[in-house]
Amino acid sequence: MKVLRTPDKHFQSLPDFDFEPTYTVIHDADGTELRIHSVDIGPRDAEPILLMHGNPSWAYLYRHVIKGLIPTGKRIIAIDLVGLGKSDKPAKRSYYSVERHLDWLTKWLETNNLNNITLVCQDWGGVLGLWLVANYPERFSRVFATNTTVPIGDGGNKVLRIWQTVMKWMPCFPWKVAFAPSFQSKTLSTEEYKAYLAPFPQWKYQSGIMQFPQLIPVFANNPAVPIFKDAWQKLGNFKKPFLTVFGTHDPITKGEEKRLQAHIPGCKGQAHERLYKIGHFSPEEAPELLVERIIPFLDVN
């Protein structure tokens, strides 16, 4: 498997992102070495808060959330999924599958031996992160979910179906059409926009973000459906605190918070909330609001 690595020069002087990089080396099932990046700050013996992003963002999405959580004294980890951010990028779209993403994340989790985790997850960070919760519940203390879900092949919604179809034929990621306009309550500055694009200086680095839409198990014939149906069933036994804080103006995950609340026992009695006029990328649009809700949730048992 051929692997690309975005040169460090593309990450220099990004606005509000002055964190030292941390790298974990794992190996793919075929033996290929992969380097996974994370922001990792705070005491190593403190309980970790694991921040997981979606597509096509990276740890930069959580920059303000990270800084807002520093006063908690917790260990704060914002991982870059393989193929995104500062993590290594397998060169071909065919290299990416749900099974591989889960294998890479499992190896990363076990290598770092994280326990007592508070998971904060958005988009694919929840799709993959909640699979980890379902299969390694002993490692997680609580979950804070924002604009994410566990798709199980039931058809999804119209916007998601259109997105998957359009992306199947796109030669490169439509940043100006699909990403920049998706923010509801703010407009990215020129420098912020460039920071999101920093991991992908050329088309050849985009295989991971181009393949992600095709991996979503929207329809029943998707090969990942059994994987996520199994995870969904297991989450039906997750009784630890589970809080949903969703943006109201997200067409991708509209209504999914209710589905999570109805199925997962840990959602019962939690202070679930919908953030008015916030879209899909809530950590970018409303980091202060998320921090205000994450911090008291850390004491919920």
Lowest mean pLDDT among 114-123, 157-166, 208-217, 226-235: 157-166
Q: Is 123 a catalytic residue?
A: yes
Q: Is 154 a catalytic residue?
A: no
Asked if residue 71 has a cis previous peptide bond (ω within 30° of 0), the answer is no
Domain total in the chain: 1
Burial of 51 (0-12, 13-18, 19+ CB in 10 A): buried
Q: State pLDDT tens for residues 22-60.
A: 999 999 999 999 999 999 999 999 999 999 999 999 999
Listed in sequence order, the residues at least 6 apart from 162 whose beta carbon sits closer than 8 Å to its beta carbon are none
Average pLDDT, the chain: 96
Q: Percent of the chain beyond pLDDT 90?
A: 90
Listed in sequence order, the residues at least 6 apart from 114 whose beta carbon sits closer than 8 Å to its beta carbon are 48, 50, 77, 139
Instruction: Give the pLDDT band (50/70/90) at residue 180.
Output: confident
At residue 92, what is the residue type? K
Q: State pLDDT tens for residues 64-77.
A: 999 999 999 999 99
At residue 186, what is the residue type? K
Burial of 146 (0-12, 13-18, 19+ CB in 10 A): buried
φ, ψ (nearest 5 deg) of residue 71: -60, -15
pLDDT confidence of residue 297: 98
pLDDT of residue 104 exceeding 90, the answer is yes
pLDDT of residue 159 exceeding 90, the answer is no
Measured at the CA of 137, the angle between CA 119 and CA 232, to 5 degrees, comes to 85
Listed in sequence order, the residues at least 6 apart from 142 whose beta carbon sits closer than 8 Å to its beta carbon are 118, 119, 240, 241, 242, 243, 266, 297, 298, 300, 301
From 250, 263, 272, 299, active-site residue: 250
From 37, 53, 249, 280, active-site residue: 280
Q: Two tokens at 268? A: 């019962």
Q: Is 280 a catalytic residue?
A: yes
Domain range holding 104? 3-297
pLDDT of residue 155 exceeding 90, the answer is no
State if pTM tops 0.95: yes
Count the Cβ atoms, other than its own, within 10 Å of residue 150.
24
pLDDT confidence of residue 17: 98
pLDDT of residue 205 exceeding 90, the answer is yes
Q: Two tokens at 51? A: 């921040």
* Rounded Cα distance, 249 and 186, in Å: 13
pLDDT confidence of residue 259: 97
From 88, 101, 123, 249, active-site residue: 123
pLDDT of residue 200 exceeding 90, the answer is yes
pLDDT confidence of residue 40: 98
Whether the CB-CB separation of 71 and 57 falls below 8 Å is answered with no
pLDDT confidence of residue 184: 84
pLDDT confidence of residue 214: 95
CATH number of the domain at 75, please: 3.40.50.1820
Instruction: State the average pLDDT over residues 131-138.
Output: 98
Whether the CB-CB separation of 271 and 245 falls below 8 Å is answered with no
pLDDT confidence of residue 139: 98
